[in-house]
Chain A
Amino acid sequence: MATSTEAAGTIGATSPGSRKALIAILPLAILLYAVVPLILRGQPYWLNVMTNAAILSFGSLGVWVTFAIGRVNIAQGAFALLGGYTTAILSTVFGLSFWLCLPLSGVVAALVGTLIGWPLLRLRGIYFAMVTLSLTEAMRLLFLNTVTLHDGGGVLNIPRPAGIDTPLDFYLFAATLLLVGYLAVWRLAGSRIGWVFRSMRQNEELAMSIGINVARYRVFAFAFCSAMGGMAGACFASLQQNIYPATYTVTDSINFMLYCFLGGLDFVLGPIVGTFGLIIAFELLRSIQEYQALLYGALMILVMLFLPNGLLSLPSILGRFWRSSR
């Protein structure tokens, strides 16, 4: 099975494949590297917002992978917390550089994801959703009761990444991370594994009957997702220079999932569009502070009512409308 995957990989890496990858990534790259910095160069506040959105998108991309195998995953907050604490403890207690902590956080989150995911992924539907939600809360309580560096389980004075000093630097780093994550998930979704995932989403028994090792693939998807969550958490810990057990709660896990959903579950770009859309909407609504949260909630319901398949399904709906009106 491994050899056939590799074979598919080498075929994909030939020139038409890489051209396709370029087409997929180029618009996003131009937007992230050129348009955003040009417009927001002198506004550290908005650059910060964009940095947040980019890192959150990276985490949501992971959740998208678990949506791809047909599981509603409300545990991304737990893995962001795990990754954040990994970076926090490695960099403050052991003095490790952020550039080592970041991949290590991903590895730790992936390992824990594998360990927990192996048994839990037997659950489906609402059971999986509920148990992952409980996992987020359990992770918070775990750090609250085990980390004793600071009152309330927090870790303070986490060093900033070496070589990154200005908000623009941090934004460019987050944008790069997001692009790499996008390329990885895009590649995954288009590969043989992506098709295996899709077959599992439609019918796991059927996938099993044609010889797919369903258990292994779903653990892989979950570990992949957890690693991305862990790395997102690591970035935030370093960006904000502190982390507390309450940094990621059930609400954050739910948000990661909502971002994917609002962007559109059928598109790899979905989580990115959803995250940036919601974060920017939230910031723009800040000027009408009193009603901000209220309108934000109403906005979300409206999207669900009229675009139940996400913001990115709008073009196809408009296209259908256009064709039928002619």
Chain B
Amino acid sequence: MEQILVNGAILSANYALIALGITLIFGIMNVLNFAHGQMFMIGGLIVYTVCVVFKLPYAVGLLAAAVVVGLIGMLLERTLFQRVMRISSREENTMLLAVGTALLLENIALFIFGEKQRGIPPMVSGVYRLGSAFLPANRLLVFAISLALIAAVLLFVNFTRQGRAMRALAQDRTATMLMGADVNRISMLGFGLGAALAGIAGGLLISVSGVNAGIGTAISTKAFIMIMIGGAGVIGGALLGAVALGFAEAIGYALFPGSVTYLLIFTALILFLLIRPQGIMGKPWG
């Protein structure tokens, strides 16, 4: 039982990074980022390249993942999304563009890194015992970094000028513009920050379970589940969704054989959405 709780907590913390990132992008841009899982995957593979191929320290790898994926996000926002949002006649178009970028990123990753499953050796060795549960030091480190980052993002969004501008943008684009915020720059920053979070999450998880170029869609699906549970575009909801999914997964994997867990999660999700279509904290049709 303790083991399930420990696993659930670690998973939740990592998933929270993914959910926070996709929520930032959705809140600010109103774009459902289908490429989120691919950004996660690229973050993981960058850490692999830096740490295993170039043999540099893990911290450098994580930083590189955050910077590179963040830049990719900003570039995509500036070159693709802003244009399509301006010229498209249907609101579905940005979602489909996101699907297209997901495909492109996945193919680029396949081209550069191949389709092998990549992992890196644990950064720290050793195992702690927590009651009857085993807690590898490596996972504890991943947990700690995740928590620190979540706290940092919350502080940034709530208390800095830029962060407040992002939240304002999520509420009302026109009003934010009238207040003199540079909307285009804030959108780009927000997209970059969301992407960077996905990249870091991938960089952290590669030391636990490994990453391959085809993992993107599965991760995006998980991100969608989390924001459906919590409510799209709400930061608190994203965290709640992450905790719900993390623990559901940990409990499910302990009780049921392999793929039954997710079948049950999907079934529960659909039933939940019947009762509360907008998620726990979401605004209807937000």
Using a CB–CB cutoff of 8 Å, the interface residues on chain A facing chain B are 67, 72, 116, 119-120, 122-127, 129-131, 133-135, 137-138, 141-142, 144-145, 249-251, 254, 257-258, 261, 265, 290-291, 293-294, 296-298, 300-301, 304-305, 308-309
Contacts and interface: CB of A to CB of B under 8 A. Distances in A.
A116 B270 CA distance: 9
Q: Which residue of B88, B99, B228 has the most chain A CB atoms within 10 A of its CB atom?
A: B99
Contacts of A291: 111
26 contacts: A116-B270, A122-B274, A126-B26, A127-B277, A127-B285, A129-B32, A129-B95, A133-B224, A134-B224, A138-B270, A142-B263, A145-B259, A145-B263, A250-B221, A251-B217, A290-B111, A294-B104, A296-B103, A297-B100, A297-B106, A298-B104, A300-B100, A301-B80, A308-B84, A308-B87, A309-B90
B89 A304 contact: no
Instruction: Summarize B's interface: helix, strand, loop or mixed.
Output: helix
Interface string B198-230: 000000000000000000010001001101100
Interface of B: 26, 32, 34, 80, 83-84, 87-93, 95-97, 99-101, 103-104, 106-108, 110-111, 217, 221, 224-225, 227-228, 232, 259-260, 262-263, 266-267, 269-270, 273-274, 277-278, 285
A294 B108 contact: yes
A132 to B, nearest CB: 10
A131 B270 contact: yes
A138 B266 contact: yes
A231 B225 CA distance: 29
A304 B96 CA distance: 8
Contact of A258 (B91, B96, B278): B96
B263 A134 contact: no
B96 A261 contact: yes
B214 to A, nearest CB: 9
Contact of B104 (A119, A249, A297): A297
A77 to B, nearest CB: 12
Contacts of B232: 126-127
A250 B222 CA distance: 12
A72 B111 CA distance: 30
Given A141-B259, A297-B107, A305-B80, A134 B100 contact: no
B23 to A, nearest CB: 12
Contacts of A135: 266, 270
A296 B100 CA distance: 10
Nearest to A265: B90
B228 A127 contact: yes
A254 B92 CA distance: 13
Most buried by B among A138, A294, A304: A304
B111 A293 contact: yes
A119 B100 contact: no
B103 A297 contact: yes
B35 to A, nearest CB: 11
Contacts of B262: 137-138, 141
Contacts of B100: 258, 297, 300-301, 304
Contact of A294 (B87, B111, B267, B273): B111
Given A134-B225, A297-B100, A304-B84, A141 B266 contact: yes
Contacts of A258: 96, 99-100
A141 B263 contact: yes
A51 B263 CA distance: 33
A257 B96 CA distance: 9
Contacts of A301: 80, 97, 100-101, 104
Contacts of B88: 308-309
Given A133-B224, A258-B96, A293-B110, A305 B83 contact: yes
- Top 9 nearest A-B pairs by Cβ distance? A138-B266, A297-B104, A141-B263, A293-B107, A130-B224, A308-B88, A126-B32, A297-B107, A297-B103
B283 to A, nearest CB: 11
B285 A137 contact: no
Contact of A123 (B103, B263, B273): B273
A124 B285 contact: yes
A261 B228 contact: no
Contacts of A134: 221, 224-225, 228, 266, 269-270
Contacts of B259: 141, 144-145
B256 to A, nearest CB: 10
Given A134-B266, A304-B84, A308-B84, A127 B103 contact: no
